[in-house]
Structure 1
Amino acid sequence: MPPLKTRFGALALATVFLPLQSLATPIDSYDYIIVGAGTSGLLLANRLTEDANLNVAVIDPGADERNNTNVVNPLAWLGLSGTPVDWNYSSVPQEYIGGRVLPYDAGKGIGGTSLINGMTYIRGDQAQFDSWEDLNPGSGWNWDTMLQYYKKAERFFPPSSWQEAVGALYEEEYHGSSGEIDVGFSPVLLNGSFYGDAKTAWANLGQSLDKDVNSGHTAGFDVWPQTLNPIDNTRCDSATAFYWPVQDRPNLTLINGTVSRILWKNYTGSTPEASGVEYVMPNGQNKTVKAAKEVILSAGALRTPLILELSGIGNPSILEELGIETVVDLPGVGENMIDQPNMALSYSTNTTFPGYAPYATFVNATSLFGDGFKRVSDVTKLLLPHWARQISKETNRALNASAVEQLLRVQHDLIFEKDVTIAEILSTASGTGAFSAYWGTLPFSRGSVHLNSTDDINTPKINPRFMAIDFDMIVQIAIGRLAATFWDTSPISTSFEAVPQGIPSPDASWNQWKNFTDSTMISNAHPIGTAAMLPRKLGGVVDPQLRVYDTKNVRVVDASVIPLQISGHLTATLYAIAERAAAEFIAPARDAV
């Protein structure tokens, strides 16, 4: 195993949560160890333990949040930020937006981020998923494959007639009915004239109605479904769907602890094989547990790279600086982080809205840039080599500039040739207020997440490098202007009495919008790509079977494997990725043994 010059600090890892007792009796060896009881990890645990001959351990420092009313209540999720259910990370100062330090939310509990997210169930554009196979030829990672696994995990509740009348639309062929994840429309959906006014206002701006945002076509205006049970109006998180119903399986063990690193068998002269993991109990005690078959990292895009680095997998120059022996030279670990910049416009109204209005408008580059579309496309294409060199330099050449350029060209093609959506605008109203949250879905900027030290895995060095590429600021300002224009467009404009001070008008100057962006932008909490499923030559960390390169039995199944951003929200896609991993990669491997 790779020696650490600095011992892993137990106090830094100690959790404030009380130990969570598993019904299964812990043993010292399991067939599979899953690191992380989050969105993907609990689905994997459920599927693997359907085979009674397999023993599976899930290791996570989180607590049982079934009685947390703010978790259970779908309308209370905004109150979870900064609470013990949140890791409460922070970014490093962001160079391109005035040096601001941004909060980073990530779920901490049995269920992971599915406990604290907005429950939005939106998949993305078909061409975005097909691009995964373009980057990994012959892998089967495409929209058609993903759709079957989206449907497998989903238990869709068709809307009632009154919900359909206020925009809860769907097309049956794109939905599943026998899965574990409840997907439906809010039972307190806003029932009044606001839907019709919003739909008409967006139509006046060229955005037509999308009859099912989960059809692989996101462009236009829609009312989106959520991961909730519309019968009793409760959140359906990963634990509710996949763990609590099967927690009494004797071959499924939940261990309360924070995994620090993978342990290795003697790997000298051979491909490294994981023997188990080391973890820290809530009392600060270090313990180890063995894996007979595989170690599966499912700790999320912000933690999985840290565990890989502590295990000796990553950029040798970073590992050497931390005092960690290199086991596998993989410079892409922690790089290629792509997050989305989130902003909001708030308004007061002269009307009271008694309900919840989850409206999304997805906009493509053609709509966003109008007559300037071709010029933006041409200039962007010319700048791709320059941006690739810039990104490579920011990674200290960990990522090769020509490899980065290839990825950027795929993204350019998605935006300007395949017409995927590049902006999302949420328009909602409740009580006497209304707001738009908006973001660019496919930023060109690339960031990173790495260990700060071997003593503390809980304070990672998160650097999304928001707005490092000028194109992202151009897009963000264009979206902001469009969002502001919506609220000033008939018939929605008749519902408002004032615009709060500090929000630029649609025709405000570039500098006014840039200053507003620099001072108010936050993370959209959609980080991906930090252990990307890409060829090694493109900076990849896992192969198309999600196995870490140059290891025998270590996989990653979480948001860190997604190679490019999507026009959607991550939850739906993470369930589908985990479904495919369990059905096609992990299960066949176990059957062959």
Structure 2
Amino acid sequence: MAQALKPTFLTFLLSFFALYPLGIYAAVLTSLNQLKQKQYDFVIVGGGTAGSVLANRLSEDSKVSVLIVEAGDTNVGNQNLEVPFLGVTLPGTSVDWNFTTTPQAGLQNRSIPYTRGFVLGGSSSINLLTYNRGSDDVWNRWAQITGDSGWSWNSVEKYYLRSSQLVAPTDGRSTVGFEDPQDHGNGPVQVSIPGFPLPIDNIVLNTAKQLGGRFHFNEDFNSGDFTGIGYMQSTIGGGSRSSGATAYLNPVDTRPNLDVLINTHVTKLIDVNPASHARRGWLSGRNIPAPQPQLTTVELAQTSSGPRVEVTASKEVILSAGVIGTPQILQLSGVGNQADLKAVGIKTIVNLPDVGTNLADHPMLANYFQIQTNDTWDDVLRNNTIFGQTLGEWQQEKQGLFVDSPGNTVGFFKLPTGSSALQGISDPSAGPKSGNTELIFVDGFARFGDLAQPATGHFITVLSAVVSPTSRGTVKLASSDPFVHPLIDPAFLTTNFDIKAMVQAINDAVTLLSAPLWQQTLKPVPFADLANATTDALKADFARRNSVNVNHPVGTAPMSSSSSESGVVDSHLNVKGVSGLRVVDASVFPVIPECHTQALVYIVAERAADLIKTQYNLDC
């Protein structure tokens, strides 16, 4: 989750702790002129979550040369990226691509910001840190879709264990009964439950224990069942963010066989197989044998009008540019829907109609409740002095409110039996261990959308989301200029299921906060537009007017079986109809998981590293 929470004094916040001078490790290259060579064994496009894993794992073999190219800047020396609570300030800044969607019919034609990480570590450097590995059902469905048992949970569990480890919360308190250590591994990404308990945490968890049923307590979601209510597990260790960059890339970026080039765009991939150029007639009939294009040269540039430099991979290029960047680069390179490419003047090399389709994301809505207490973090965002003291506590001791993201507790829920959302369709979730909706409980007024934080009063925000959406959107080129953002259409709330599931999530939030423990203590009352949404029809209208997104896009270069004419990559993540090109990021997800997505990217990247090492007989 990386949508912006916008405190009323954001300008003060950004100036109060101005970014530390951006430190550059000696091995990180900032200019095309600094490139040591023009050929590497592997060229990784994108230094984000997946790219960081691949750079680490592939460069473990000292005989292998690796170049990783990142469009954004370094993560090193930027305090904003380190403080977990301040992740909410990062959207809209220099570490964000600052994408915007097309007008969304399901959101009353509003265009909304679409946050993606523009920095080493990618979105793992700027998200709100939630760590969900997905239910067992998610992975087993992927295995079924791809025809590859290597994606089943039993097969990928080792990659989950290899990628992360459970660490103690910052305050050192006992975690017995709130997590299950046996379901965690020993990898570099640090994961913990909240290190600064909030007043509402016990109310949320004890309400779950009292109500049971759909709202039952879940000790540890990462045990494989993603239903119920429990503590959020987040990528935090020692009070600081643990990202793809800090866990995988920064520790190894001085390896002599690894070059990290930042502030550089990959403008396109170049076909280096002359034999394929004579067989363009193959495009409209992919069942006709033809020499495959070999897209193993990348064209690099640092500005739209600046010089272009070509670098070649002797083994393969790996696209880890993300759910927006990967389809954009494929399309710029002539790989995509032939009609769409022709519309922007790009010659088609391989007609892959599914490039940029199947975009799925979790729509999210902020539901506000006013409560009878002064014990929330609302005043931290209103009072410069309190804010400064809280930041100082983090700087000096790595303790206090800022060691966590704003929400400590979360719930995932199946729709009730007989829900009208399921009328005429089967449950779109992966299975019984996967929910349809999500609620995140926030101890303050979390600004997601246009409603500003009130000047007075204390609040609880319950963020509701649809995590098994059936709406699907697209990413298409707006221009053949690689520096022009593509057209991003997630098609939020455009199906009957999605809008009715969101209404159910709103009703669930109201139900939970009407439970005895809440009413005996904080007495929450619906606030603002939620207070006037008294019927399901009015709640649907409320959702359309106010929903944003959780920033969990997936699926724009989806996996399918090798024999299927659909999809973009096969089960080993090789781009179909092309040689020397693989995709490793969330764009390969065949279906959106019913959880937050970053942990799944780590797992996919770890498996991809093994597949690559096996193919090329690399030393582990």
Is the TM value for this pair above 0.5? yes
Does residue 1:514 correspond to 2:537, yes or no? no
Does residue 1:568 correspond to 2:601, yes or no? no
Which residue number corresponds to residue 380 of structure 1? Answer: 425
Cα distance in 2 between the residues matched to 1:238 and 1:140: 23
Cα distance in 2 between the residues matched to 1:18 and 1:162: 31
Query: 2:75–2:245: 8 Å Cα contact kept in structure 1?
Result: no
Cα distance in 1 between the residues matched to 2:581 and 2:410: 38
Which residue number corresponds to residue 304 of structure 1? Answer: 326
Query: 1:147–1:174: 8 Å Cα contact kept in structure 2?
Result: no
SS, match of residue 223 in structure 2: coil
The sequence identity of aligned pairs, in percent, is 30
Which residue number corresponds to residue 606 of structure 2? Answer: 579
Q: 1:33-432 alignment to 2 at 5 Å? A: 33-158=43-168, 163-164=173-174, 169-177=178-186, 179-190=187-198, 194-202=200-208, 203-204=210-211, 206=213, 207-229=215-237, 231=238, 233-256=239-262, 257-265=264-272, 266=274, 267-268=276-277, 269=279, 270-282=291-303, 284-351=306-373, 352-353=375-376, 355=401, 357-365=407-415, 369-370=416-417, 372-373=418-419, 377=422, 379-381=424-426, 412=428, 414=430, 418=432, 420-430=434-444, 432=458
Deviates more, 1:276-285 or 1:99-108: 276-285
SS, match of residue 443 in structure 2: strand
Cα distance in 2 between the residues matched to 1:480 and 1:446: 22
Residues 512/413 of structure 1: CA separation in 2 closer, same or farther (3 Å cut):
closer
Cα distance in 2 between the residues matched to 1:51 and 1:592: 6
1:500 pairs with 524, 527, 530, which one? 527
Deviates more, 1:113-122 or 1:23-32: 23-32
Deviates more, 1:106-115 or 1:261-270: 261-270
Q: CA shift at 1:545, angstroms?
A: 0.3
Cα distance in 1 between the residues matched to 2:174 and 2:545: 39
Cα distance in 2 between the residues matched to 1:414 and 1:498: 35
Which residue number corresponds to residue 542 of structure 1? Answer: 569
SS, match of residue 326 in structure 1: coil
Query: 1:125–1:421: 8 Å Cα contact kept in structure 2?
Result: no
TM-score by length of 1: 0.85
Alignment gaps of 5+ in structure 2: 1-21, 30-34, 280-290, 378-400, 446-457
Cα distance in 2 between the residues matched to 1:81 and 1:217: 31
Letter matched to residue 423 of structure 1? T
Cα distance in 2 between the residues matched to 1:562 and 1:115: 21
TM-score by length of 2: 0.82
Residues 40/168 of structure 1: CA separation in 2 closer, same or farther (3 Å cut):
farther
Letter matched to residue 213 of structure 1? F
Which residue number corresponds to residue 513 of structure 2? Answer: 487
Cα distance in 1 between the residues matched to 2:548 and 2:429: 27
Cα distance in 1 between the residues matched to 2:524 and 2:172: 29
Cα distance in 1 between the residues matched to 2:500 and 2:541: 13
Q: CA shift at 1:137, angstroms?
A: 1.4
Cα distance in 2 between the residues matched to 1:239 and 1:475: 36
Which residue number corresponds to residue 384 of structure 1? Answer: none
Residues 139/300 of structure 1: CA separation in 2 closer, same or farther (3 Å cut):
same
Cα distance in 2 between the residues matched to 1:515 and 1:18: 47
Alignment gaps of 5+ in structure 1: 1-16, 382-410
Which residue number corresponds to residue 453 of structure 2? Answer: none
Letter matched to residue 421 of structure 1? G
Letter matched to residue 414 of structure 1? A
Query: 1:19–1:63: 8 Å Cα contact kept in structure 2?
Result: no
Letter matched to residue 294 of structure 2? E
Residues 37/446 of structure 1: CA separation in 2 closer, same or farther (3 Å cut):
same
Query: 1:336–1:529: 8 Å Cα contact kept in structure 2?
Result: yes
1:460 pairs with 462, 473, 486, which one? 486
Work out the number of aligned pairs and report it.
533
Cα distance in 1 between the residues matched to 2:430 and 2:412: 15
Cα shift readout 1:263-306 (whole Å, capped 9, x = no counterpart): 11122341111231001125822111111110000000011000
Q: CA shift at 1:168, angstroms?
A: 6.8
Cα shift readout 1:135-158 (whole Å, capped 9, x = no counterpart): 111341111222211110112214
- Aligned alpha-carbon RMSD (Å): 2.4
Cα distance in 1 between the residues matched to 2:547 and 2:444: 22
Residues 437/145 of structure 1: CA separation in 2 closer, same or farther (3 Å cut):
same
Query: 1:441–1:567: 8 Å Cα contact kept in structure 2?
Result: yes
1:556 pairs with 583, 586, 590, which one? 583
Which residue number corresponds to residue 438 of structure 1? Answer: 464
Q: CA shift at 1:534, angstroms?
A: 1.4
Letter matched to residue 143 of structure 1? W
